Amino acid sequence: MDKHLSTKTIRIALVIMLSLTALLIHQRVTLARPIEGFSTQSNDQSRQASSISSLALISDHDNFFQIIDQNEQSITIELTTPQAQIEEGLSNSFACETLNVEGFGNATRSGWPQLPVKGVLIGIPIESAPTLTVLESEAVLLPDRINLCPVAQPVASFDLDGNITFEGSQLIPDPEGYSDLQNLSANPAQLTSTAFLRSQRVAQLFFQPFRYDAFSGQVFYHPQIRVRLDFNSSNAANKFAKSTMDEGFFESFLKDNLLNYSSARTWRLQPSTDSFANTASKDAGQVTYKIMVDQDGLYQITYSDLVNAGVALDTLNSLDPRSLQLINAGVEVAIFVEGEQDGVFDSGDSILFYGQALNTKFTNTNVYWLSWGTSSGLRMEQKDGTPSGSALVPDSYLATAHVEENHYYLSSRPSGPEQDRWVWDYIYGTGAGAAQTRNFKFSINPADIPSSPVSIRGLLRGYQGTPHHHTKVYLNGYLIDDAIWNGENDYNFDVIISRDKLLNGENTITVECPMDGGVTLDIFYINYFDIDYAGAFVADNNLLFFNQTANGAREFRVVGFTSNSVNVFDISDHGRPIRMTGAVISPLSESTYRLSFEATLNGTHQFLALSSDQQLKPAAIVVDKASNLRDNNNRADYLIISHADFLTAIQPLADYRTSQGLTSIVIDVEDIYDEFNFGVFDPQAIRDFIAYAYANWTHPVPTYVLLVGDGHFDFKNYYGRDEGIFIPPYLANIDPWIGETAADNRYVTVSGSDLLPDLFLGRLPVKTAVETTQMVNKILSYEANQSQGNWNQTVMFVADNSDSAGNFANISDNIANFHLPAPYFAQKIYYKVTHATGTEVKTSIIDGINQGRLLINYIGHSSTQFWAAENFLGVADMNRLTNTDRWPFMLPMTCLDGYYISPSAIGENRSSVGESLVASSPNGAIASWSPTGFGVATGHDLLNKGLFNAIFNDDVIALGPATTQAKLNLYMNSSSNRELMDTYILFGDPALKLNVLPADLSLTQTVFPGGALRPGDTLTYTLTYANTDAATAHHVVIEDLLPEMLEDVVVTTSGAAAIQRSGTRFVWDLADLAQGQSGSITITAKIAEAFTGTITNSASITTSAREINRINNVPAAVTTLVEWPTSNFLTSFSATAKPVSILIEWQTSKEDSVTGFNVYRSQTADSQKEQLNTAIIPILPPGGGSGNSYAFEDTSISGGKTYYYWLEIITNANQFLEGPLEVQTFSTIFMPMLVR
C-alpha cells in the first residue's frame, strides 16, 4: 500500500466520521496503517467476529511474553505488542481518540492519556533487591497524529446527610499527565512494585509500549521490548530463601499467574510467627465469664448476678472468693470482694471493681474476664483518708466537658486528627442576608471563682463556601469567635473567655453563618466542642469524678450527696484503684451531705466519689465458650467465620465442602474476638486471626475464607436504626471519590504489606438463620446441577448508554466477542443500541434472569440500589424474579452495586443490588462480584477481562480463585486504580464452582499385535482421544506410563497438535479440543532382548475444563506377555517308565543365554512341584548355538502311581517351564538282588 495514499485515506475517514458523529456514535474509525502490527476494525465487524478465533488473543502470558533466559540470578523476558486499533472517544467538550491493543490494559490514572499498557508477575527470591534493565526497545513513530482521550473521572455528590449520589463521569486532561516530559521520558518498562502472594514473593513488571507527545499528537510505538530482571541476591540469601513449600489449593493459582512459576516455586517464605502477640484473656480449659461494661464507673457483681449468668449454685457455694480474679486486656485488675474473709462466697457477698468503657471507632463496650480457683487474686489497696484538719482545701478542679453528638456519617469528609467521619449537625446558608444558626446545649457545674478562665474549643468541617465560609460562635449569647475560612477544610477555634460568660447548669453554644460580606453559599458541618473550666466540688446525682494536680496533702470536700452511704476511690491507676477509708460524711441539711477526705498527692490524681446506689451493674455477664484457635495443630483448607446466630444453619455447607476434600472448620466470630482482641469487638481481630492461622496452623494452611453475616458502618448505632452487625465490614479510606468504604479484601492480605489477597474470600450477607439456610440450600442445589436445559450456555451482556465515562456498548462488545468462546451465546442488552428505553432494558434483563443465565455482565453507571439512572435492575425488582433453580453469577462493572454497609431501620431496606440478589431466595443470583465504591471504566475493564479469561480460558471456575485472578490482572496491568483490589468483594461462597458447560474427554488404548510376544519383537500402542461435549477442553495433557523395557520408541501423532514435554518420558500437551475434535498418538517400540514377563501400559488424559464424566479419561491398562517358547531351545523332551525308575531325557537345539536346568515332579498336574535335582544341572560344552543331549533318572518312585514332570530352562534373564509329562510307573517294582 502506498504510504501517502494511506495518510490521505486516514484524513478523509476522520473528516467523514467527525461529521457523522451524532448518527454513528458507536462506529469505530476505519483506518489503514502502513506500520506493521497495526490494524483497525469496524465495530460491526468486531461484533460479528468469531469468538473461537479470538481465543489466541486472550490466553496466557506466553501470547505476549517469552522467557529468553533465566537462572538463579536473573530472568530475561521479551514483550511483543500485537495489533492495535484506534477508536473514537466520547467527550462533551472536545474530540478525542483512544488507542487500544487487544489483550492489553489501558492506563487507568484519571486525567492521564489512555495509552495501552501490559504487565506481568515474576516470582523472585525472598531476600532479593531486584532491578530492571531494558536491553532492547526500538521505537517506531506512527505516521498520524491523534488526540488521545484522558481516563475518565467519576463525579460523585454527597447530600448533607452523607448519602452518595453518582453524577456521571468527566474527561478532564491532567496537565501533568499530558506534559511532554512526563510521556516522552517515560521508560518503556518499569519494575513497579514487589509483593507477596502467600509464600511467594513477586515483582510486577509494567510495560508501556506507547509514548505520547500531546503537543504534536504523535505516538511512539515499541513493537518488542526485551528486559532483564536482576535479583541481586547474595548466594547466602539465595540459600536461605530456598523452599518448595506446598501451598495446597493455592498452588494451581500461583501456577496460572506467574510467568516463571516452575523456577520461582523454589523461592518460598515460611510465614513468620513473631508478630502475633497473645491477645486472649483466658486459659484453655478454665471456666471464665465475660463482664461487659459500657460506661466508666464502679461496678458491683453480686451472688445473684452470677446465678443469673448461669453459674451453678454448687459452684458458687464451693467457691473460695479469695481466688476470684479479674482480667482486662490481658492484665489483672484489682478488685474488692465484700465478705471474702471467711473463704466462702455467700449470698450477701459481692465483687467491686472500677470499669472503664472504651471509645473506639467500633464499640464502647469493654470486656473484663472473671475466673476463680487457680490462685489468689489481686485486691484493691486501702489508704486512710481521715481528714487531719491541717491539709490545704482546694476550691475547684480542672474539668473538661466534651460536647458531641453523632448524627451524620461522612465517608469522604473526615475531620480532626483522628479522621472522625461522624458529625453532629450542619448549617446550610444560601442567599445574602439569610443568616442560619444552630444551638448546642450542655450542662455543667463550674466553681464560683470569677478569676478562673474558661477555654472553649470547637471543630467545624467545610462543605462548600462561595467565595468562602464566614462563621460566628456564641456562648450564651456572647460572641466568642468570628472567622473567615476556605473550602472543604477543617476549622478549629480555641478561645479563652471569662468565667462570667459561663452559667451554672445549662449553657448554649450557638453557631451562625451570617451570610454577609458577599457570601452567597455557606455549608459546613459542626463536629464537637470542648470546654475547660474550674469545676465545683458538687456531686451530680450522688456521683463526682474529679482530678487534682499537686504535691502534698490535700483535703477534699464534696457536697451535693443525698445519701450518707458514700465511698471514695483513687482511680489514678484505673487497673489498681485504691479504696480511701476514714472519709467523713457530714450532714448539711436533712437531705444533703458532705464528703470530706484527705489524700497525699504526688502529681495528678483522679478520684471517684459516689453513693452506693450509683454503683453500676455490668451490661452483661456471659459465660465464655471454650475455643482453641491458637492451637497450631489446627488444620483447615476452608475457614467459615460466622456469627453465633448462624452456626447451625451454615454447618451443612461446611460438611459438603469437607466431603469434596476441602477440610472445613466453622468458627464463631465471638471466639475470634476473645482470642485475638481480649473479647472486644473489632474487625482487626478477624484479620489477625486469619493471619495467625495462615502463619501458624499445620500445612497446608487455609486457602478459602467465608464470612457469614451482614454488617454496616454504624457500629455504635448513631442513626438509631437498630440493625445488627453480624460480621463487620473492614472499613478503610481507600476510594479516591467516596473515601471510606468496605475493603473486605484487607481481611485476607496477610502475607506482606501489600494489597494482594492471600486467601480466597467471600461473604454471605445474611441477617437471619432462615436467610442462611436458604442461601446454603441455593449453593448446594446449584452445585448439584439439578436444573435441566441449556440455560447455562447463555451469558447476558448489559450496557448503559455511552457518555464521557466510556462507550459502554463497545467495551461490552469487546468482552462478548473476544473473551467469550463458542459454544456460549452472548445476549446483548444495550441501552440506546439494542433497546430504546430503560423499560425495555429492565424487561429483557428480568426475563433473561428468569429464563436462566450463566453470567450477567453489566457495564455502566449504578447507584447502591439500582443500575443506571433509568433503573435497569434494582432492589425493588427482587419480587419479579422467578428463577428458582437457574441462578446467575452477577458481574457488575460499575459503581456502588455492592455498597452493603448502609444500615436499615425496621421496615426499610437500604441493601445494595448485589447483596439483595444473592440474599433473595429461592430466586436471585448464586453470587455477585460487586463494588463497594466508585471506579473508572478502564479499571473495570481489566477486572472484567481478567475474570472472563480465568473462567473461559484458564478454566478457573471456583469463584474465589477466579475473582482473585481478575484482581491480579488489574494489579499486573495497571499502576493505578488499585482501590478496586479492595472495593470489589464477592457476595457468595468462594469455593463454589460455576456451572459452566462441560467438556468430555475420552481416551482409548489398543496394542498390536495382541498375542504373546517374544524379546526383540516390536509392538504398537495407539491412544485415541476425543472431546464429545459442548465446551472446549483447555490445557489437555496425555500421559503414557510407558514401561522402561520398551526401547527405540517412535511416536507419531494425528489430529490436534501434541507437544512432548521436555524432561518427561511420555507426557504430551495438546492443543485445545473443541467439541467433536479428536486425534491419536501412536507409539511403536521394541521389547528389550533380555526381557521376559508381562508388560503393562497405562495412559490417561486430563483437562483443566470442567468434566462431569471422568471415567473415560483413563482407559483400561493393556498387558502383553513376553516369553521365550521352549521350542526355541528344545528339540525333544520325554519321560519313560523303567522297572525301578523314570528316565527324563531332553535334547536342546541351541543354548544361547541358557545357564542350566532343573527337573520338577508333582503328584497331580496342578499340585505343588518338587525339585528333584539338588543342584542346577549345568549345560554341556560347547553350549551357545549348539545343542546337547541330557538325561536325569528319578529313582524315588512308587509302583502303580502316576507322576508329572517338568523341565525348567534357566537363562540369564528368566526361567521357562516345559511340561508337564504324565508317566505311569510299573505295578511291581523289581528290586535288584543283593549278592554277597
pLDDT digits (tens, 9 = 90+) for 1044-1067: 999 999 999 999 889 998 877 799
Q: Which three cell numbers stand for residue 911?
A: 441493601
Q: Which of 788, 740, 1018, 991 lies closest to 886, judged by CA?
A: 788
**Residue 166 pLDDT greater than 70, yes or no:** no
CB 111 within 8 Å of CB 253 = no
> Residue 878: phi, psi to the nearest 5?
-60, -35
Per-residue pLDDT at 237 exceeds 50: no
pLDDT for the residue 220: 86
Residue among 220, 211, 213, 214 nearest 140 (CA): 220
| Matching residue, cell 543365554 | 1153
Does pLDDT of 808 surpass 50? yes
- 788-986: CATH topology is Rossmann fold (3.40.50)
CA angle centred on 928, ends 743 and 977, rounded to 5°: 40
Res. 1215 pLDDT band, cuts 50 70 90: confident
175 Cβ contact list (under 8 Å, min separation 6)? none
For CA atoms 935, 941, 947, 948, give the dihedral sign: positive
Q: Do domains 3-264 and 1001-1122 have the same CATH topology?
A: yes
Q: Specify the range with the lowest mean pLDDT, choosing from 144-148, 528-532, 1197-1201.
A: 144-148
* Confidence (pLDDT) at 48: 35
pTM listed for this prediction: 0.85
- Nearest Cα neighbor of 459 from 533, 509, 531, 526 is 526
Cα(279)–Cα(277) distance, integer angstroms: 6
Nearest to 512 by CA among 475, 480, 470: 470
Q: What is the pLDDT of residue 629?
A: 97
What is the Cα–Cα distance from 1229 to 804, expressed in whole angstroms?
A: 117
Class of 1126-1224 in CATH:
mainly beta
Bridge-based pairing state of the strands 638-642 and 664-668:
parallel
Is 248 or 915 the better-scoring residue by pLDDT? 915
User: pLDDT, tens digit, for every residue of 829-879?
Assistant: 999 999 999 999 999 999 999 999 999 999 999 999 999 999 999 999 999
Q: Tens digits of per-residue pLDDT, 632-662?
A: 999 999 999 999 999 999 999 999 999 999 9
Closest to 257 measured CA to CA, from 1106, 966, 755, 977:
966
Pure H helices in 769-912? 769-784, 808-818, 838-851
Q: CATH number of the domain at 1001-1122, please?
A: 2.60.40.1530
Which of the two residues, 431 and 258, has the higher pLDDT score? 258
Model confidence band, residue 30 (pLDDT cutoffs 50, 70, 90): very low
* Count of CB atoms situated within 10 Å of the CB of 352: 18
Instruction: Judge whether 345 and 303 are in contact, CB under 8 Å.
Output: yes
Domain ranges of the chain: 3-264, 289-380, 384-395+538-612, 397-535, 788-986, 1001-1122, 1126-1224
pLDDT bucket at 38, cuts 50 / 70 / 90: very low
Beta bridge partners of 8: none
Angle at CA of residue 644, ends 685 and 694, nearest 5°: 35
Banded pLDDT at 146 (limits 50, 70, 90) = confident
Greatest Cα-to-Cα distance within the chain, rounded to the nearest angstrom: 160
Residue 242's pLDDT band, with cuts at 50, 70 and 90, is low
Q: What is the mean pLDDT of residues 817-824?
A: 94
| Structure confidence at residue 894 as a pLDDT band (50, 70, 90) | very high
Q: Write b or e for each residue in 391-409: b if 16 or more Cβ atoms lie within 10 A of its Cβ, otherwise e.
A: beebebbebebebbebebb
Question: Is residue 875 helix, strand or coil?
Answer: helix
What is the rounded CA–CA span in Å between residue 695 and residue 1037?
Answer: 35
- Does 14 have pLDDT greater than 80? no
Tens of pLDDT, residue by residue over 323-352, are 999 999 999 999 999 999 999 999 999 999
Cβ atoms within 10 Å, residue 298: 20
Q: Which three cell numbers stand for residue 1061?
A: 514435554
Closest CA to 673 of 274, 280, 273, 276: 280
Band (108; pLDDT cuts 50, 70, 90):
low
Burial (0-12, 13-18, 19+ Cβ within 10 Å), 384: exposed
**Averaged pLDDT, 1032-1051:** 93
Higher local confidence (pLDDT), 606 or 180: 606
In this predicted structure, what is the pLDDT of residue 272?
A: 65
Percentage of the chain exceeding pLDDT 90: 71
Asked if 559 contacts 592 with a C-beta cutoff of 8 angstroms, the reply is yes
- Cα 816 from Cα 800, distance rounded (Å): 15
Confidence at 975, pLDDT banded by 50, 70, 90: confident
Query: 199 near 269, Cβ under 8 Å?
Result: yes
pLDDT at residue 43 is higher than 60: no
More confident residue, 688 or 271: 688
Each residue of 378-435: pLDDT tens digit?
Answer: 999 999 999 999 999 999 999 999 999 999 999 999 999 999 999 999 999 998 778 9
Tallying the residues shown for the chain, one arrives at: 1236
Summary mean pLDDT of the chain? 88
pLDDT at 1231: 52
Grid cell digits, residue 518: 458577599
Q: CB–CB of 1059/1035 below 8 Å?
A: no
- CATH assignment, 3-264: 2.60.40.3800
Three-state secondary structure call for residue 744: helix
Q: Which of 172-176, 349-353, 769-773, 789-793 has the lowest mean pLDDT?
A: 172-176
Element (H, E) at 195: strand 189-197
pLDDT of residue 1229: 54
The answer, yes or no, to whether residue 22 has pLDDT greater than 80, is no
Domain 397-535 has CATH 2.60.120.260: yes
pLDDT digits (tens, 9 = 90+) for 825-838: 999 999 999 999 99
* CATH T-level topology, domain 384-395+538-612: Immunoglobulin-like (2.60.40)
Distances (CA, A) of 541 to 507, 545, 562, 613, 961: 19, 12, 8, 10, 60
pLDDT above 70 covers what percent of the chain?
90
Residue 262's H or E segment, with its range, is helix 261-264
∠ Cα 1014 1015 1020 (to 5°): 80
